[in-house]
Amino acid sequence: RQLQESGTRLRGDVNILLLGDPSTAKSQLLRSVMSLAPLAISTTGKGSSGVGLTAAVTTDSDTKERRLEAGAMVLADRGVVLIDEFDKMSESDRVAIHEAMEQQTITIAK
């Protein structure tokens, strides 16, 4: 974030929602962005969970230690996350990624 001399704050991140009728090449456009961006991670709303997109706390089976595993949005930090079929994502999973999109932070509660 940048603070201008006028006191205006500028966000450095842009979120884009691409909408359209079926068969209007939205997925092909995402694939083109994937090939152009230096850092891009692609996923689908149908196959992704909020945890898979943000971060998860897991327990190592050998050492029993807890560890934090980064999701797609963390792995694509300063890059592009492409979520196809966003409408197929459950409401709770959409809520989980809202903080990352709005505040650029991820909170882990475990």
Per-residue tens of pLDDT for the chain, all 110 residues:
678 888 887 776 788 888 889 889 999 999 999 999 999 999 888 878 878 888 888 898 899 999 888 888 888 888 899 988 888 888 888 887 888 888 778 887 75
pLDDT, residue 110, reads: 59
Distance CA 39, CA 21 (A): 28
CA-closest candidate to residue 54, choices 85, 25, 83, 19 = 83
Would you list the DSSP string of 74-110? HHTTTSEEEEE-GGGS-HHHHHHHHHHHHHS------
| Residue 62 structure tokens | 């050998």
pLDDT, residue 35, reads: 94
Q: Ramachandran region of residue 41, left (φ > 0), alpha (ψ -120 to 50) or beta?
A: beta
